[in-house]
C-alpha cells in the first residue's frame, strides 16, 4: 500500500533506559494489527531490539524502524537507545522524524537520560509528546512525574490525561481532551468509555480549559471564537492543537501502561489525528542555503539516515523520501560522489522483517539493500537534479582508546571490521596516526567502545585489545640559538663533506627578518601535524651553493618529524642558514642533509626546548548535588576552571584540561555523578607542559631509545 504525504506520521521514541520505549512500540504495533502477538524484552521476541547483542544486554543499542497502519494512515516509529553512548542513533532518527515521543517512567520521574535527550529534541526543533509509562507499577507517581517534567521542560508540558488509580490496580484513565473516562479490561486493549465521576469533574474541567486556551492561542480566529463562545468545537480544537504542536507551542502529556496495553491506542489516535505530517513540518535545509519542501509532486530526492550490516543480508540502507516519489527500479544520482544507484527493491520495515513496496512517496521512510557507493548522511536525486541535504551533525567524540595491534593478518581483518562498523556508526572514528604509530578509536563513551569491541570479536572473529593512547605532544623552542656542524666522511674514493651554520629561533607570523643576517629567500611551510616551519636562506657570497638548500631543509624537516626531546613533532620554528662550506667533489645532497640534521639537533638543545601538550576545552553539565565531587576530580586532572554557571537546573562547569589527564574520564564522570552528568570536549590549544612532566617524558624517551639501541 502506498501512502500520501498527508497520511504519514514519522515519530521517534526517546527516553531513559528502562522507561519502556520498546514495550510501548511493541504494544502500538499490536494495537494497529501489525503483529498478532505482543513480544517482551524478557522473552527477546520484540520487533524492536532484535539483534543478538541487544538480546544479550537486554536494552536497545540500535534504532529500529517499524510502521503501523492506523485507520488508513501510516505511522512510522523509530525506537531508539536510551544510553547517551549511542546518541548517534537518536540524532539520525530525529533528522527524519516529525514528532518525538518522550517516554517517562512513572516510578522514576524525569531521569538524566531524558534530560540529555531533550537537548537534541530542541536542536532539531521537533514537536514533542510526553508519555508517562508504567503507571501500573506499585511505586508509580504520576503527579510527581508531571511536576518534574514541567519544572525541567517548562509550562508548555500540558497533561491531557491522568490515571484515576495508579499502581498495581491501574485500569482507568481520565481524558481531559475528550472529557471521557476510559476503563480498560484486565488484559488491556479497547477500553469502555464512561462519564467522568463527579469527584473528578473539577480537575478534568480545569485541565480541559487549559488545553482549549492553549489551542486557541495559536490562531486569532480561534481565539475570538473562544472568547465569544467560551469553548471550541472538536474540529476547531483539533485544528488549534495541530498548529500549537507543530509550532512547539505545547507538549501534550499522556499516560499509559505499555505492559498491560492500556492507553497506547489513544496515543496512536492522537498522533494520527493531531500530530504533523511531514508536509506540515518546516522545509529541510540544503547545503547551498536553500530549502526543500516535503512534496510528493516534486523531483525525487532521498536522504540515507542509517545503514546497518545484517548477517546473510548485507548492508541495509534506511532512507527518507524528502521529495517526489521513489519507485522500485528507479536510478538516482548520489550527490556526494556522483555515482548512479539502482533501487531494485524497496521495503517497508518492521524490525528485521521487511515487506516489499512498489513505491514510496515524499515523507515516507523505507529501506533497500545492495547500494554500492551510498552511505549514511548522503543525498540521492533524480537524474538532472542537484540537491544536497544538510548532513546530520553527529556529536564530537568524548573518549579515545588505542588498539593493541594483533599480528599482520588479524590487523587487516580488524581494520576491515572496524571500517564496516564505522560505516554504520558515524560517531565511531578510526584514526591511523602515523605520528603516534597507533590506531586510535574515538567514541561517545566506554560502553560505546566496549560494544564495538564485543561486535568485532563476536561478529568478525577478531580479538582486539584496548590500550591507553599515546598523547600527541609537540616540541618547540623558547629562545634563539646558533650552531655550526661539519659533516666529514672519507671511505675511499669520493667522500662526504658539508658544513652548515644554522640559527633557530621561535617563529610567529609577522615577525621581523633575522637580525644581523641578509635574507635571500624565505619559505614558510604549514606542517602536516600543525604549526609552521620558516626556512630562511641567508647565504652571502656563495659559501654554500643554493642547490643544496632543498637537502638542508629536508634534513630539518626530518628531524622536526621526530623531535630531539621525546620524538614528538616539532613546530613553530624559524631556521636560518647563514654560512657554511662545501667541497667541489665531496659535497652532495646527502652530506648537507646529514649536516643539517645534526646542526638542528645541537641547536634545539640550546634553544630552551619546550614540550607542548594538547589542551581541551571541556564543558560539564551536572546536578548541583554532585558538583563538589566533579570539581574535586577535576583538581586531580590539572584542570583550570574557566567558569561556572547555572544552565536551567544543571550546573555548568567550563574547564581546560590536558588531554593526558582525560583518559577514561567518561567512565569516571558517570561513576561519581551516578550518571547525572555529561560532558563535551573540543581541542583548544597546545600549551607548555609543566617542567616535572617534561623531564619525566624526556627520561622515558631516552630509556626507550636506549632499549632500542
What is the SS3 string spanning 85-135?
A: HHHHHHHHHHHCCCEEEEEEECCCECCHHHHHHHHHHHHCCCCEEEEEECC
Determine the Cα–Cα distance for residues 197 and 180; give it in Å rounded to an integer. 9
pLDDT band, residue 674 (cuts 50/70/90)? confident
Strand order in the sheet with 192-194: 161-163, 172-175, 180-183, 192-194
For the chain, give the percent of residues with pLDDT over 90: 77
pLDDT band, residue 321 (cuts 50/70/90)? very high
pLDDT at 227 over 80: no
What is the SS3 string spanning 48-86?
A: CCCCHHHHHHCCCCCCEEEEEEECCEEEEEEECCCCHHH
What is the average per-residue pLDDT within 224-229?
75
For the chain, give the percent of residues with pLDDT over 70: 99
Determine the Cα–Cα distance for residues 626 and 621; give it in Å rounded to an integer. 10
Q: Report yes or no: 160 and 175 within 8 Å, Cβ to Cβ.
A: yes
pLDDT band, residue 707 (cuts 50/70/90)? low
Angle made by CA atoms 632, 638, 640, in degrees to the nearest 5:
85
Per-residue model confidence (pLDDT) at position 464: 87
Per-residue model confidence (pLDDT) at position 381: 97
pLDDT at 15 over 70: yes
pLDDT band, residue 436 (cuts 50/70/90)? confident
pLDDT at 430 over 80: yes
pLDDT at 19 over 60: yes
Per-residue model confidence (pLDDT) at position 492: 65
| Residue 9 bridge partners (DSSP) | 75
Per-residue model confidence (pLDDT) at position 221: 78
Determine the Cα–Cα distance for residues 35 and 23; give it in Å rounded to an integer. 13
pLDDT at 113 over 90: no
pLDDT at 333 over 90: yes
pLDDT in tens, 117-144: 998 999 999 999 999 999 999 999 999 9
Q: Report yes or no: 375 and 92 within 8 Å, Cβ to Cβ.
A: no
pLDDT at 220 over 80: no
Beta strands of 562-639 (E only): which ranges? Answer: 569-570, 573-581, 610-622
Grid-cell match 638542508, residue found: 552
pLDDT band, residue 217 (cuts 50/70/90)? confident
What is the average per-residue pLDDT within 445-467?
90
Global pTM exceeds 0.85: yes
Domains of the chain: 5-189+251-280 (3.40.50.300), 284-382 (2.40.30.10), 399-469 (3.30.70.870), 475-608 (3.30.230.10), 613-692 (3.30.70.240)
pLDDT at 708 over 60: no
In angstroms, the Cα distances linking 68 to 30, 32, 238 are 9, 6, 22
pLDDT in tens, 574-597: 999 999 999 988 999 999 999 999
pLDDT at 283 over 80: yes
pLDDT in tens, 512-568: 999 999 999 999 999 999 999 999 999 988 899 999 999 999 999 999 999 999 999
pLDDT at 406 over 80: no
What is the average per-residue pLDDT within 210-229?
81
Among 86-90, 124-128, 621-625, 705-709, the range scoring the smallest mean pLDDT is 705-709
Among 306-310, 386-390, 476-480, 688-692, the range scoring the smallest mean pLDDT is 306-310
pLDDT band, residue 369 (cuts 50/70/90)? very high
pLDDT in tens, 468-513: 999 999 999 999 999 999 999 877 667 899 999 999 999 999 999 9
Determine the Cα–Cα distance for residues 663 and 449; give it in Å rounded to an integer. 13
Left (φ > 0), alpha (ψ -120 to 50) or beta: where does 167 sit?
Answer: left
Give the chain's mean pLDDT: 92
Per-residue model confidence (pLDDT) at position 515: 94
pLDDT at 709 over 70: no
pLDDT at 647 over 80: no
Determine the Cα–Cα distance for residues 697 and 692; give it in Å rounded to an integer. 9
Per-residue model confidence (pLDDT) at position 648: 63
**Residues composing the chain:** 709
Q: Report yes or no: 550 and 557 within 8 Å, Cβ to Cβ.
A: no
Three cell numbers, residue 83: 544510553
Per-residue model confidence (pLDDT) at position 437: 86
Amino acid at each position: 500500500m502506498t501512502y500520501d504525504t498527508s497520511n504519514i506520521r514519522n515519530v521517534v521514541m526517546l527516553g531513559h533506559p528502562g522507561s519502556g520505549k520498546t514495550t510501548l512500540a511493541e504494544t502500538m504495533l499490536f494495537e494497529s494489527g501489525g503483529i498478532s502477538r505482543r513480544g517482551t524484552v524478557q522473552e527477546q521476541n520484540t520487533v524492536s531490539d532484535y539483534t543478538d547483542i541487544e538480546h544479550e544486554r537486554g536494552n536497545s543499542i540500535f534504532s529500529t524502524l517499524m510502521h503501523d497502519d492506523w485507520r488508513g494512515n501510516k505511522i512510522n516509529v523509530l525506537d531508539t537507545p536510551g544510553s547517551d553512548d549511542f546518541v548517534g542513533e537518536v540524532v539520525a532518527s530525529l533528522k527524519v522524524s516529525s514528532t518525538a515521543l518522550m517516554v517517562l517512567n512513572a516510578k522514576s520521574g524525569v531521569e538524566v537520560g531524558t534530560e540529555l535527550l531533550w537537548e537534541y529534541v530542541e536542536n532539531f526543533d521537533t514537536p514533542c509528546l510526553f508519555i508517562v509509562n508504567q503507571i501500573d507499577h506499585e511505586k508509580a507517581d504520576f503527579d510527581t512525574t508531571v511536576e518534574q517534567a514541567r519544572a525541567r521542560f517548562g509550562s508548555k508540558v500540558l497533561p491531557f490525561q491522568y490515571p484515576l488509580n495508579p499502581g498495581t490496580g491501574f485500569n482507568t484513565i481520565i481524558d481531559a481532551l475528550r472529557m471521557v473516562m476510559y476503563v480498560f479490561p484486565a488484559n488491556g486493549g479497547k477500553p469502555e468509555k464512561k462519564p467522568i465521576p463527579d469527584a473528578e469533574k473539577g480537575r478534568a474541567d480545569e485541565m480541559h480549559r487549559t488545553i482549549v486556551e492553549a489551542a486557541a492561542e495559536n490562531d486569532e480566529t480561534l481565539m475570538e471564537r473562544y472568547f465569544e463562545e467560551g469553548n471550541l468545537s472538536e474540529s476547531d480544537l483539533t485544528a488549534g492543537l495541530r498548529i500549537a504542536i507543530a509550532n512547539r507551542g505545547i507538549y501534550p502529556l499522556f499516560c499509559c501502561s505499555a505492559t498491560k496495553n492500556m492507553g497506547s491506542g489513544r496515543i496512536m489516535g492522537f498522533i494520527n489525528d493531531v500530530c504533523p505530517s511531514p508536509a506540515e513540518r518546516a522545509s529541510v535545509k540544503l547545503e547551498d542555503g536553500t530549502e526543500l519542501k516535503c512534496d510528493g509532486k516534486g523531483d525525487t530526492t532521498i536522504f540515507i539516515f542509517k545503514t546497518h550490516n545484517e548477517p546473510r543480508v548485507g548492508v541495509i540502507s534506511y532512507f527518507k523520501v524528502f521529495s517526489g516519489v521513489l519507485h522500485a527500479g528507479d536510478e538516482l544520482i548520489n550527490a556526494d560522489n556522483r555515482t548512479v544507484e539502482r533501487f531494485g527493491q524497496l521495503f517497508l520495515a518492521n524490525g528485521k522483517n521487511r515487506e516489499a513496496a512498489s513505491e514510496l512517496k515524499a515523507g515516507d521512510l523505507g529501506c533497500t539493500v545492495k547500494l554500492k557507493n551510498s552511505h549514511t548522511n548522503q543525498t540521492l536525486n533524480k537524474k538532472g537534479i542537484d540537491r544536497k541535504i544538510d548532513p546530520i551533525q553527529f556529536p564530537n567524540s568524548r573518549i579515545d582508546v588505542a588498539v593493541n595491534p594483533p599480528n599482520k593478518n588479524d590487523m587487516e581483518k580488524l581494520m576491515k571490521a572496524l571500517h564496516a562498523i564505522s560505516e554504520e556508526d558515524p560517531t565511531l572514528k578510526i584514526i591511523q596516526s602515523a605520528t603516534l604509530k597507533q590506531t586510535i578509536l574515538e567514541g561517545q563513551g566506554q560502553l560505546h567502545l566496549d560494544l564495538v569491541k564485543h561486535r568485532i570479536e563476536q561478529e568478525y572473529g577478531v580479538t582486539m585489545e584496548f590500550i591507553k593512547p599515546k598523547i600527541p605532544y609537540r616540541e618547540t623552542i623558547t629562545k634563539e640559538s646558533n650552531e655550526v656542524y661539519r659533516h666529514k666522511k672519507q671511505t675511499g674514493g669520493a667522500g662526504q663533506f658539508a658544513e652548515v651554520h644554522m640559527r633557530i629561533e621561535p617563529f610567529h607570523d609577522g615577525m621581523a627578518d633575522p637580525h644581523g643576517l641578509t635574507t635571500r629567500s624565505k619559505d614558510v611551510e604549514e606542517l602536516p601535524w600543525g604549526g609552521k616551519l620558516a626556512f630562511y636562506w641567508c647565504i652571502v657570497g656563495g659559501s654554500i651553493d643554493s642547490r643544496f638548500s632543498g637537502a638542508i631543509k629536508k634534513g630539518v624537516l626530518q628531524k622536526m618529524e621526530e623531535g630531539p626531546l621525546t620524538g614528538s613533532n616539532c613546530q613553530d620554528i624559524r631556521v636560518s642558514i647563514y654560512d657554511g662550506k662545501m667541497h667541489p667533489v665531496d659535497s652532495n645532497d646527502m652530506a648537507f642533509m646529514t649536516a643539517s640534521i645534526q646542526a638542528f639537533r645541537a641547536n634545539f638543545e640550546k634553544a630552551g626546548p619546550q614540550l607542548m601538550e594538547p589542551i581541551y576545552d571541556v564543558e560539564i553539565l551536572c546536578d548541583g548535588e554532585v558538583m563538589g565531587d566533579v570539581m574535586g576530580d577535576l583538581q586531580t586532572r590539572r584542570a583550570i576552571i574557566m567558569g561556572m554557571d547555572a544552565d536551567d537546573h544543571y550546573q555548568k562547569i567550563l574547564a581546560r584540561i590536558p588531554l593526558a589527564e582525560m583518559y577514561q574520564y567518561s567512565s569516571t564522570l558517570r561513576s561519581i555523578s551516578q550518571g547525572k552528568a555529561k560532558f563535551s570536549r573540543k581541542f583548544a590549544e597546545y600549551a607548555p607542559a609543566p617542567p616535572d612532566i617534561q623531564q619525566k617524558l624526556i627520561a622515558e624517551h631516552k630509556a626507550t631509545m636506549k632499549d632500542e639501541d
